[in-house]
Amino acid sequence: MNSTAEKLFATEVVASVLGNLPTSTDRLPTELRKLHPIFYNLRHECTELMKDIRFDKRGTFVYSQSLDQAFSNLETAKVLQRVNPDLDKYEITLKLREYYSSRLEKKLSDRQLKDAKRIAEKLADIALE
Amino acid sequence: MSLERLKNRIEEFVDDHLPNELPKRKNRNKIIHECIWGTKLFSENEIILLDTPLLQRLRRIHQTGFAYYTFPTAVHSRFDHTLGTVTQCSRLVTVLQSKQETLMKGLLIPLRLSALLHDCGHGIFSHTSEELYGLLDEMQEATKEGAEFDNEPKPHEILSSLIVQSEPFKDYIEKVIPDCDTKQISECITGIADNSSKYKAEILCSIFDGDKIDYIHRDAHFSGLPLKIDLDRLWYGIDIMKIPIDGVEYQKLSISHSATEPLEQMMFHRTMLFPTLYQHQKVRACDCMFKGIVEYIRNMGSSVRMGHRTVAFNNIEDFLWGTDDEFFAIGLDSKDTNLRCLMNNLLERRLFHRVLAISSRTTDDLTGHGYADLITYRGETSPESYRHLRSLSEEICREAVKKGLSVLPEQIWIDLPENVKVGRDAEEAFVHIVQDESLNKYDFIPAMKIFPIDRWVRQIEMYKWQGSVFAPPEIQEEIAPIAQQVIENRFGFRFKPQAFTECHLVPPKPKK
């Protein structure tokens, strides 16, 4: 763990949050309407992690281009996968958790880690819905 | 503070691009013929605005940037697209007026004006220059949370909005259309509306909007990739509905269940235009050459003449003052041979070649971690991300120079085009199904529950998406193994032979 906060890109933010999901959470919905507002609602509590993520409040749900791109990047890199046949759930695989622990965990400051855990906790709630 | 500086500079730009006096009125509308939507009538007020240098400059800005270097007939301009957007917004308003007379009353003129002005903030080569000025501090400041544009509008939309809200523009429009509400136009351009009038913003900013209807048809037609949308069916099915979403009621556009096919066509065609046209590797090569020229000028710390202005491309307004043809004249008579060479290469189409193809097909990464580290930079709009990728390119350049190659850092580019963002459109578009016709009761379903386009697009992208390393053609073969080594060392994955063969290069022999 890092004592000072490094600049994190959106893909690293999302991977850090997903990497901190409880092990009991192995699936998440892919709907932007469900995912993005969770990040938005916690942005003031989790400033260290979320300070560079911007949101668009013009539609019927709060949306972030950066988060959209970040989820897509993790999918393109195949560390985040969707579950067949409907492709409407993300599978939180060992590959993703290993990516987080080997590449990102050491980059996060205490505050960033705390923020990632806080958002992960909320995401785990929608996984159960 | 920096937004204030930008506003002042925009005022100066607008002041220069509007005539001091109004032309003599003739009380005559004008008919304009064009090949996509046919023969259309424009009011005298619209013609007065169209005839200003502010909008005439759009004739000399290519709608699809450098796409015409690869698709020779894609020479249509922002001006053509502006006319088409007015036509399609107008059509949409007229259709909606026939169904919702009260709600749509008095909206035709302001929405036509919004469409007319929606792209007036585009800089040279449209979205190509937007990739650069979007990274400048002022734009970053303007879009921070709590700032004036904190709803993620695109940089050119911010500039269009600032132009429309500038004092010189307000003064001018006051003379042309005395009761014109520039705030309303600015909100339409940036897609802002309250919950009870979302439909107003959606006519210019949504998946059904006149802007998209025009550019999907126009860009496809002029690039020779005709894509059809059953617009008549879309018009029959579209309406304004009160839709309850997550406990809040929104008054927004909705499409009837029997007319979802044109909506599917729109989303699908828009998606396909990205890999086929906008992100075609030769189009991206041109974009990188353009960025290289701008970067070279910035790195030299000197200014150049573009049109009748001196610019250094360190400020947003520098990208507004010129047009595409004026950009090409930069440096042609310069004493700086490098600048002349960079410009001539682009002008005479000696384009960069790909030296490495980057995709999950062309890389071998057992853990996936290294490749994921590189992909982290894809679509990042932060200056830090841009600097990271540029420093990697500079490292490739340094290694090349050590090996005796003659190359500038501005000639090596790692290009990772952004994803196609359709998920939001698919979740924001609603379909209505009659529940009880006698009671006028409807059910509402997000379009993506009927056709999950976001999932298809992600799958298409997984297979079609590719990044590239670009370099000048004369050193393509020599740069390829250097770029391979630098990237492999930095990220810890390996390139497969396909990374070379997809660039028409012979892969290096594997080391024993």
pLDDT at B152: 87
Between CA B281 and CA B266 the distance in angstroms is 23
β-sheet bridge partners, residue B434: B442
Enumerate the domain spans of chain B. Answer: 1-214, 227-276+425-460, 352-419+465-512
Using one digit for the tens of pLDDT, what is the confidence trace for B250-290? 999 999 999 999 999 999 999 999 999 999 999 999 999 99
- Strand arrangement, sheet containing B467-471: B353-358, B467-471, B413-415
State percent of chain B over pLDDT 90: 85
Full DSSP string of A23-59: TT--EEE--HHHHHHHHHHTTTTTHHHHTT---B-SS
Distance in Å, alpha carbon of B426 to nearest chain A alpha carbon: 10
From B69-78, B79-88, B374-383, the region with the lowest mean pLDDT: B374-383
The domain total for chain A is 1
Name residue, tokens 């032979």.
B497
Highest mean pLDDT pick, B139-143, B175-179, B315-319, B508-512: B315-319
| A105: in domain | yes
Burial A78-96 (b: 16+ CB within 10 A, else e): bbbbbeeeebbbbebeebb
More confident: B135 or B23: B135
Contact B412, B469 (CB under 8 A): yes
| A93: in domain | yes
pLDDT at A61: 96
- Give the strand pairing for B430-436 and B304-306: unpaired
Contact B111, B203 (CB under 8 A): yes
Name residue, tokens 């429309």.
B164
Q: What are the backbone angles phi and psi of residue A109, rounded to the nearest 5°?
A: -80, 170
Between CA B412 and CA B431 the distance in angstroms is 47
What number of C-beta contacts closer than 8 Å exist between A and B? 132
Name residue, tokens 């791109």.
A69
- DSSP 3-state of B38: strand
Q: Cα B201 to chain center, whole Å?
A: 19
A79 shares contact with chain B (CB less than 8 Å): yes
DSSP state of B58: G
Number of H helices, E strands in chain A: 6, 3
The third-level CATH classification (topology) of the domain covering B1-214 is Hypothetical protein af1432 (1.10.3210)
Contact B468, B281 (CB under 8 A): yes
Average pLDDT for B90-108: 96
* A1 pLDDT higher than 60: no
What's the pLDDT band for A45 if we cut at 50, 70, 90? Answer: very high
pLDDT at B454: 83
B380 shares contact with chain A (CB less than 8 Å): yes
Contact criterion met (CB < 8 Å) for B372 and A73? yes
Average pLDDT for A114-125: 96
Contact criterion met (CB < 8 Å) for B419 and A82? no
Nearest to B368 among A58, A68, A79 (CB): A79
| A49: in domain | yes
Nearest to A32 among B252, B380, B423 (CB): B423
Burial B357-367 (b: 16+ CB within 10 A, else e): bbbbebbebee
A115 shares contact with chain B (CB less than 8 Å): no
Using one digit for the tens of pLDDT, what is the confidence trace for B336-388? 999 999 999 999 999 999 999 999 999 998 888 999 999 999 998 899 999 99
What's the pLDDT band for A127 if we cut at 50, 70, 90? Answer: confident
Residue (of B172, B181, B177) closest to B45 by Cα position: B177
Residue A77 with chain B: CB contacts under 8 Å = 360, 368, 371-372, 375
* B1 pLDDT higher than 70: no
Q: What are the backbone angles phi and psi of residue B115, rounded to the nearest 5°?
A: -65, -40
Helix (H) / strand (E) containing A68: helix A65-76
- The mean pLDDT value of chain A amounts to 93
Using one digit for the tens of pLDDT, what is the confidence trace for A58-103? 999 999 999 999 999 999 999 999 998 889 999 999 999 999 999 9
DSSP state of B197: G
Name residue, tokens 């529940």.
B435
ipTM confidence: 0.95
Name residue, tokens 């490292």.
B395
Neighbours of B173 (CB within 10 A): 22
pLDDT at B53: 97
What's the pLDDT band for B512 if we cut at 50, 70, 90? Answer: low
Using one digit for the tens of pLDDT, what is the confidence trace for B386-420? 999 999 999 999 999 999 999 999 999 999 999 99
Using one digit for the tens of pLDDT, what is the confidence trace for B145-184? 889 998 889 999 999 999 999 999 999 999 999 989 999 9
What's the pLDDT band for B26 if we cut at 50, 70, 90? Answer: confident
Exposed / middle / buried, residue A27 (Cβ in 10 Å: 0-12, 13-18, 19+): middle
Between CA B175 and CA B191 the distance in angstroms is 26
* A3 pLDDT higher than 80: no
User: What's the angle, vertex CA B442, arms to CA B436 and CA B448, rounded to 5?
Assistant: 140
User: Radius of gyration of chain B from Cα atoms?
Assistant: 24
Is the dihedral angle over the CA atoms B188, B192, B197, B201 positive or is it negative? positive
DSSP state of B138: H
Distance in Å, alpha carbon of B193 to nearest chain A alpha carbon: 7
User: How many CA within 13 A on the CB side of residue B407?
Assistant: 29
Name residue, tokens 């942005």.
A43
The two tokens of residue B104 are 């749509």
| A36: in domain | yes
* B50, amino acid identity: L
Average pLDDT for B423-436: 92
pLDDT at B416: 97
B247: left (phi over 0), alpha (psi -120 to 50) or beta: left
| A25: in domain | yes
Q: Structural domain of residue A84, as residue ranges? A: 10-128
User: What's the angle, vertex CA B324, arms to CA B319 and CA B326, rounded to 5?
Assistant: 85
Neighbours of B378 (CB within 10 A): 24
* A31 pLDDT higher than 60: yes
A40 shares contact with chain B (CB less than 8 Å): no
β-sheet bridge partners, residue A109: A2
* B439 pLDDT higher than 80: no
A99 shares contact with chain B (CB less than 8 Å): yes
Residue B142 with chain A: CB contacts under 8 Å = none
Neighbours of B38 (CB within 10 A): 9
Between CA B403 and CA B478 the distance in angstroms is 9
